[in-house]
Structure 1
Amino acid sequence: MRIATDKVDATSKLSNVISMIDKLAKKNIIHDNKASNLKSKLTKFVSKL
C-alpha cells in the first residue's frame, strides 16, 4: 500500500489493510496500541497523497 501513488487506489486498499491490522490485534499478534498507531500512520499517508 505504501507504494501506491494514486489516492483512489490507496483509499480502496486502506480498508483492507485496516481490517488485517484489526484481525492481528484481536488475535494478540500485535498490541492494540501498535495497531492503532499503524492505522493512524497509514490514514495520514493516504490523506497526504
Structure 2
Amino acid sequence: MHTEDYINRERLYGAHNYHPLPVVLHKGEGIYVWDVDGKQYMDFLS
C-alpha cells in the first residue's frame, strides 16, 4: 500500500481526535524514519 491508501483507511476508521500529518511512517533507524513510499525524514523529536 502507498501513503494515500493508508490515509484513506485512517479517514474511514480512525478516531479523528487530532489533525494527523499526511505521512505514514514505515520504519526508523537512529534519528531517521522512512515513510511507506521510501522518503527519508530526520526525526527531531527522537
TM-score of the superposed pair, with normalisation by structure 2: 0.39
> Which one scores higher on RCO, CA 8 angstroms, separation ≥ 6?
1
Larger proportion of strand: 2
Q: From the CA coordinates, give the structure whose radius of gyration is larger.
A: 2
Larger proportion of helix: 1
